[in-house]
């Protein structure tokens, strides 16, 4: 069984001065962020809300529905009324399986 691949090559990148400067600025900003990250006593406190939000959004893709509030409540050991199922939107190339 084969994987998905493309025979076309990616477009050529024109390495202009402005592109190189933008990439350089981005690398510097990432370095600063990494430095600040190391100074925090518990940096994962900043990341956890994004992970929870992504989990709530991906649950909808999987055909279930878990709100961010439900995820946080479950993590805290509380229970809340569950949400009503809302099917993910259908789009081009999306087929419904039962």
* 55, 71 Cβ separation under 8 angstroms: yes
Confirm whether 93 is domain-assigned.
Answer: no
Mean pLDDT of 46-56: 79
Confirm whether 65 is domain-assigned.
Answer: yes
**Whole-number Å distance between alpha carbons of 86 and 73:** 20
**Whole-number Å distance between alpha carbons of 2 and 11:** 25
Q: Is the pLDDT of residue 53 over 70?
A: yes
**Whole-number Å distance between alpha carbons of 46 and 33:** 13
**How many domains are there within the chain?**
1
Confirm whether 90 is domain-assigned.
Answer: no
**Whole-number Å distance between alpha carbons of 60 and 96:** 14
* The model's pTM: 0.41
| Domain that includes residue 68, residue range | 17-76
């Amino acid at each position: 069984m084969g994987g998905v691949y493309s025979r076309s090559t990616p477009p050529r990148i024109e390495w202009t001065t402005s592109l190189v400067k933008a990439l350089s600025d981005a690398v510097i900003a990432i370095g600063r962020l990494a430095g600040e990250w190391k100074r925090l006593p518990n940096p994962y406190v900043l990341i956890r809300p994004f992970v929870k939000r992504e989990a709530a959004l991906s649950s909808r893709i999987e055909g279930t529905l878990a709100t961010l509030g439900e995820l946080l409540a479950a993590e805290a050991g509380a229970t809340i009324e569950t949400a009503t199922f809302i099917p993910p939107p259908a789009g081009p190339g999306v087929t419904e399986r039962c």
